[in-house]
Amino acid sequence: MSESEKGFTAKNTGFKRFYYASKYSWQGIKAAYAQEPAFRYEIWASAVLIPLSFVVAQSPMQLAALICTCLLVLAFELVNSAIEAVVDRAGTEFHELAGLAKDLGSAVVMVALIMGALIWGAVIWENYL
């Protein structure tokens, strides 16, 4: 099925599409950094942990795992921020499902943080203890 049959047509293709997608992604990262304190903390933690991973890791697999845990936390924080923005845009009155959506988004970040702590702990344990 072609794009026009699906009801939409891509405005940009090839490199131009990649350029605009990258531009919008960077705008999202800048907005999250400006508006979300948790994202700022996680960026700064990653700025310390990613270089440290080159010291701690003793194999390419360990290095990839340590770096990916940092990136995964950032990715889930961005998703959580997007959920919060959509819910807040939908209305200011309390709704059970809005609260649930925000809680679930927060839980995803918490699970990623726990996973990261476990992986970092396991690598440090294996290599140094």
Provide the token pair at 85: 């923005």
Q: Return the axis-axis angle of helices 60-90 and 96-128, rounded to nearest 10°.
A: 170
Percent of the chain with pLDDT over 90: 74
At residue 13 the predicted structure's pLDDT band, cuts being 50, 70 and 90, is confident
Active site residue 77: yes
pLDDT of 1 strictly over 90? no
Phi/psi at 118 (nearest 5 deg)?
-65, -45
- What type of residue sits at position 111? V
pLDDT (0 to 100) of residue 3: 54
- State pTM to two decimals: 0.84
Which residues, at least 6 apart from 56, have a Cβ–Cβ distance to it below 8 Å? 62, 66, 120, 123, 124, 127, 128
Phi/psi at 3 (nearest 5 deg)?
-60, -40
DSSP state of 1: -
Mean pLDDT over all residues of the chain? 92
Tell me the domain boundaries of the chain. 37-128
The mean per-residue pLDDT over the stretch 37-55 comes to 98
How far apart are the C-alpha atoms of 116 and 66, rounded to whole Å? 8
Query: What is the longest distance spanned by two Cα atoms in the chain?
Result: 60
pLDDT of 9 strictly over 80? no
**pLDDT tens by residue, 73-88:** 999 999 999 999 999 8
Looking at domain 37-128, which of 1.10.287.3610, 3.40.1190.20, 3.40.50.12780, 1.20.58.760 is its CATH number?
1.10.287.3610
- Catalytic, out of 77, 84, 93, 126: 77
How far apart are the C-alpha atoms of 65 and 123, rounded to whole Å? 9
How far apart are the C-alpha atoms of 78 and 46, rounded to whole Å? 14
pLDDT (0 to 100) of residue 110: 98
How far apart are the C-alpha atoms of 99 and 125, rounded to whole Å? 38
